[in-house]
Amino acid sequence: MNKSPNVVFHKAAVTRPRRETLNGHRSINLWFTGLSGSGKSTIAHAVEERLHLMGCRTYVFDGDNVRHGLCSDLGFSREDRAENLRRIAEMVKLFIDAGVISLTAFISPLEKDRQRVKEIIGPEDLIEIYCNCPLEICEQRDVKGLYKKAREGKIKNYTGISAPYEAPKNPDIELFTGYQSIEECIETVIRELVRRGIIFRHGY
């Protein structure tokens, strides 16, 4: 429920289509979901680098970075995780209106929370990308030592160990990051953006 009933939405003269025309590409959100260590942030930043070199306007929302600012007041309870994603979705919606290709790398473990994100952003403006990686490989990549702490009971409600991860049933893109190279993952995402007419690239 909106707690500011007297606030009126202002319609801008410079619209999303005008911004997209200026940018030379359409705006979209690439929502990367998967276990910690599945490669979400690595691939999101790699895709952004490729898009940037192609002349696209982009921005990556990384889970850890967002929690240093916009969501620094939130913990990791189910309620706080849901609020974290709600705030991100609302921010992404603004970036889409600005004509930007946004990339979001969040575990986002629960289907109902991801569905809420799609409702806020709009399913037509979101490409769900599932970074499918076996838990044992994610644990091997555990540079922060968080899985080890979770196994020892030092971290509660850790996704994949003491909290569930509900894999997307029908993601728009599924990357098998346990064995696919970063380059293969980048190409898969770029091809989908070209197929949808978000960007234009010779050779496809």
Angle, alpha carbons 58-167-1 (nearest 5°): 70
Active-site choice (102, 108, 162, 181): 108
Q: Determine contact, residues 193/199, Cβ cutoff 8 Å.
A: yes
Q: What pLDDT shows up at residue 200?
A: 83
pLDDT at 143: 77
pLDDT for residue 74: 64
Per-residue pLDDT of 97-111, as tens digits, reads 999 999 999 999 999
Interacting residues of 104 by C-beta distance below 8 A, sequence separation 6+ = 29, 30, 31, 32, 44, 60, 61, 88, 92
108 counts as catalytic? yes
pTM of the predicted structure, to 2 decimals: 0.88
CATH fold of 24-194, please? Answer: Rossmann fold (3.40.50)
For the chain, domain boundaries: 24-194
